[in-house]
Structure 1
Amino acid sequence: MSRAHAALKAFFMAFEAGFSKVEISPPVVGDLSIPILGFWWERAKAYGEVHDPLYARAACFRDGDRFTVVSMDAFGDGIGLTDSIRKLASEKTGIPREKIMVCSTHAHTAPETYGLCWNAVDGRWLDWVAERVASAVEEAERRLELATMRVATARTEGLVVNRRASYVMERVAKGEARLSPEEIARSTDLDENLYAFTFLGADRSPVGIIVNFACHPVIMQTVPVISSDYAGFVAEEAEKLTGATTLYLNGPCGDVNPACGDTGNYSDVVALGTRLASCIQRIANNFDKASQVEEPVRLSARRAVAKVRRRGLPRKEELLEEKERLEGEIAARSMVPPPREDGLGAALFSIREKLTLYEMPEAFDAEVQVFSFGPHSIVGIPGELFACLGRDIRMAKRGVVQIATLANKILGYIAPREAFAAGGYETQPARWSRLAPGSGEEIRDAAVKLLRS
């Protein structure tokens, strides 16, 4: 770095930032096995078309430290895609692997990379995606330029709901779940804020934006097409409105759905996405006088690994006996395959999921990352974090804290203890709910400790 460059950097209290974007849509035809999940695994099947393209976006930052954030229009990585991306990106740029955060938007109409389907995604396509994403990181690194940042929080209303709230309240009313008033409040929590970091170039115009909002991208999940859902639309629309590459990081969405539901209507994607993109435009153009980071900004990247336990299960022998009994009864009734809506089909599915958990280790490494810009941070969490745990993390530090859930290799739902007491889909023993009660609090505490370090 030249003396003039260093002096300019010190004067503007700037760091360097670079952004890039590549398409990662799968092919419509060919011999590759690329299932999409939709909602239930029985619907995992080949898609009919690419309704709207999938992208990966990369943001690289450098100062005293250096780190990279990636946002992919992807369901989530439970099969090792993150490791491949980190390896290739590190080889191309020299950025340490542990300083690369790979986030998925969690679009349910993206290829099934979570590890929930019985039919696996073709490894050749995964290799191609890893190379594409690593190339995006390399390009973002090449585009590094002096930048400052603008930080803002925008309040939204009526766009999202806590999808468990009515279920929890009904269980409590019937006496089926005993929760204290505080536990009820946590079980129905909802964060409707949109958090944005806008990065400005030398001419003070936006060159990149990282936005954080919590909501399951499930509007299109009932349709057998490839789609980035509302999360991808938000990023695309924000880029049109601001001219800046926009990374969408999904927030603590474990118990949060769009208020419109899973309609399968792209018009609902457009409606939600347009509202959020409008918020981003106002922030990027400073219409609402968003705060400027005026103090010297020091970049830092920190990482911790929390050891969390697999949840307890009935004896394997008991599960196998029950599985054999159910399969016999189903065969006698000529229900092959049994529908999930049928009681026997649901019971067999539950048994199979519990047996699948026996194939997993008894403990997992939960990777937590914190990338900071002075007082403001991005926290990477490896799963579908519940809203109340996200609120706990945000309150741990002054400044704006973005929480990127579904970061790196994910571990399913990350729920608080009270969610297990209430029950429900998110906490039933299955591949998407593998962690023992208390794991959510352990992961939260690891994030809080990093933020305060």
Structure 2
Amino acid sequence: MNTAFLRKQLLFFAALVLLWCARPDSAAAQQKAGGQEARQFKAGAAMSVITPPIGYSINGNMQDGKIRQVHDDTHAKAIVLDDGENKLAIVVSDLCMVYKETLDKAKKKAHEYSGIPVENMMMSATHTHSSGTACSVFQSDPSPEYLDFLSERIADAVIRANNNLVPAEIGWGKGYEATQVHNRRWFMKSDEGMTNPFGGVDKVRMNPGIQNPNLNEPAGPIDPEISVLSVRSLAGEPIAVLGNYSLHYVGGTGGGELSADYFGMFGKRMKELRGEGNPHRPFVGIMSNGTSGDINNIDWRSGSWKPTGAYAQMNRVANLVAAEANKAVEGMQYRKWVPLLSMQKEISLGVRKPTPAELKRAEDILAKETEKVLTKRDAIYARESVLINKFPDKVPLIIQAFKIGDLAISAIPCEVFVEIGLEIKEKSPFASNFTISLANGYNGYLPTPKQHSWGGYETWRARSSYLEVNASEKITATLFSLLNQLKQKP
């Protein structure tokens, strides 16, 4: 065959291929059209009332309380994000804590109506101590009827947020407020007041008393960062702001009054700052609980915490934190599209059960009690030891992580100590990272092994603290594995 002729034929066919690829309906063009350039990012938000009836149980204390008045309604607040391929749902409920089983039922219903995979749903509690009881802790127990109601209403928030999806853009940033977070665990100068309910002496004391002359130094750090996620419609209407702050709660309600605490006040203040949003899809302001297992609002050394009446301190904290969150939103760079991914892993961790000798001691203490409502500390913890002894040897936990562009949100079903959250931020492969505590269930406090060795309230064996001593190390190892896998995915 003539070489010149062959060369011309090859050039002709090459030109045809180039022309074909340049056509709008070519495979290459179709692939581009299906890529990021043509994807439409969407967001939606909604909230459902979860206020229980007057007379219902309030947990968060050693003895049960009863609702006598509703100061402000409690809510389940949801955000749904959609990148065109994957959807993520984040729900934060005004509860002290909530069972995994309750949330699993909510996820199942939400999936049936929205199609969002259950593993793409992150559901947490704020840890307000003035809400309806959704978990048995100390002498408070939930009713089955309220738990069923919660499952329905939490699912409804997701479904409605999904129904509210509109083309949107998303951004994230951070602010700082160091004046409202203080480590509540302290080393003391002497052993005075350091006994625990099990007959031993601790090295650390929780809530040691304002300006106590025996104060030595805090047993851990703080995290002053306020992480903020914001979504708005392409028309500029605010859809939702999700905040994350490592503050346990504030407290200071009227007696027997139901309240969402500063978490609810933050949401209201953000609406004042950002606007009402679309009248058919009102703006939703959400504050989630960060890693605050050993953090509260009281400056123990200086005594600067001086509330001036019920709800005054809550309002002050909410306004300060909302102002910082709003500054972060104002300076935020919004993205019109980001990839969304979720990964989770269910792990099993051991339960710290009493030894036979510890169990007998607990039973002997309870045998001497004549009152139905326990008031003595040792008796309260003796009862907890008896109940913990009936737990299985291992319990399941969901460890979860979301990827939102180069932002990662981690989720742990515990009251996570702040140093664990700081470690996650430091070692995460993502440029931005925050952790939502009390997420996808409740498995008590999560101290580090070192904090366990020092003792203190957060380590005392009870349904509020029962995981194995090395639980934090196993949880973070699982979480870092998930984060690294998410980082590698496009």
TM-score category of the 2 structures, normalised to the smaller one:
0.7 to 0.9
Partner of 1:86: 107
Contact 1:151 1:293 in 2 (8 A): no
Query: What's the TM-score once normalised by structure 2's chain length?
Result: 0.79
Which residue of the other structure, out of 183, 188, 208, is the alignment partner of 2:220? Answer: 188
Which residue of 388, 400, 403 maps to 1:372? 403
Match of 1:423 in 2: 455
Structure 1: runs of 5 or more not aligned: 179-183
Residue in 1 that maps onto 2:232: 200
Letter in 2 for 1:400: S
Matched, 1:253 2:287: no
> What do the CA deviations read for 1:245-302 (whole angstroms, capped 9, x no partner)?
1222110010011134898720111111111111222222x2xx334458x6211011
The answer to whether the Cα contact below 8 Å between 2:243 and 2:287 also exists between their aligned partners in 1 is: yes
Deviations, residues 2-32 of structure 1 (Å, cap 9, x unaligned): x99x969945975211111122111226xxx
**Match of 1:103?**
124
CA contact (8 A) 1:38 1:224 kept: no
Matches within 5 A, 1:34-433: 34-40=56-62, 42=63, 44-63=64-83, 64-78=85-99, 80-118=101-139, 120-164=141-185, 166-167=186-187, 177=203, 187-220=219-252, 223-243=255-275, 244-259=283-298, 260=305, 265-284=310-329, 286=330, 289-293=331-335, 297-315=338-356, 318-319=357-358, 321-327=360-366, 329-330=368-369, 336=371, 340=375, 345-395=376-426, 396-433=428-465
Q: Is the 8 A contact 1:220 1:263 kept in 2?
A: no
Corresponding pairs, count? 423
The residue identity in structure 2 corresponding to 1:143 is N
| Aligned-partner Cα distance in 2 for 1:303–1:170 | 45
Q: Is the 8 A contact 1:302 1:370 kept in 2?
A: yes
Tell me the residue number matched to 1:25: 51
Cα deviation 1:35-70 (Å, max 9, x = unaligned)? 102421x2x132111111111111111222212110
The CA distance in 2 between the partners of 1:70 and 1:389, in whole Å, is 22
**What do residues 179-206 of structure 1 show as CA deviations (whole Å, max 9, x unaligned)?**
xxxxx99941110110001112212343
Q: Which residue of 1 aligns with 2:476?
A: 444
After superposition, the Cα gap between the structure-2 partners of 1:262 and 1:364, relative to the gap in structure 1 and judged at 3 Å, is farther
Q: Distance in 1 between matches of 2:217 and 2:33?
A: 51
The structure-2 alpha-carbon separation of the partners of 1:142 and 1:198, relative to structure 1 and needing over 3 Å to count, comes to same
Distance 2:52 2:353 in 1: 38
Structure 2 residue identity aligned to 1:239: K
TM-score with structure 1 length normalisation? Answer: 0.85
1:337 is displaced (CA, Å) by: 5.4
Report the Cα offset of residue 320 of structure 1. 5.1
Q: Matches of 1:169 and 1:297 in 2, distance apart?
A: 52
**What is the CA distance between 1:99 and its match in structure 2?**
1.5
Letter matched to residue 452 of structure 1:
N
Secondary structure of the residue aligned to 2:402 is strand
1:435/1:228 CA distance change after superposition, 3 Å: same
Partners of 2:202 and 2:392 in 1: CA distance: 32
Deviations 1:352-373 (A, max 9, x none): 2111111111112121111111
C-alpha distance 77-10 of structure 1, shift in aligned 2 (>3 A)? same
Distance, in Å, in 2 between the alignment partners of 1:12 and 1:53 is 41
SS of the residue 1:152 aligns to: strand
Cα–Cα, structure 1 residues 379 and 299, in superposed 2: closer, same or farther, change >3 Å?
Answer: same
**Quick one: distance in 1 between partners of 2:203 and 2:137?**
29
Unaligned residue ranges in structure 2 (runs of 5+): 1-28, 195-200, 205-215, 276-282, 299-304, 486-490
Amino acid corresponding to residue 398 of structure 2 in structure 1: E
Question: How many angstroms apart in 1 are the aligned matches of 2:225 and 2:317?
Answer: 14
Q: Secondary structure at the match of 1:211?
A: strand
| One-letter code aligned to 1:15 | F
Higher Cα Rg, which structure: 2
Cα distance between partner residues in 2 of 1:50 and 1:85: 25
Alignment check: 8 A CA contact 2:47 2:75 kept:
yes
Of all paired residues, the percent bearing the same amino acid is 23
Paired residue type of 2:93:
M
Most deviating of 420-429 and 135-144: 135-144
Partner Cα distance (2:159, 2:368) in 1:
56
Distance change (3 Å), C-alpha of 1:319 and 1:267: same
**Paired residue for 1:181?**
none
Question: Does the CA contact (< 8 Å) of 2:421 and 2:434 recur in 1?
Answer: no
Distance 1:177 1:24, change over 3 A: closer
Distance 2:390 2:372 in 1: 23
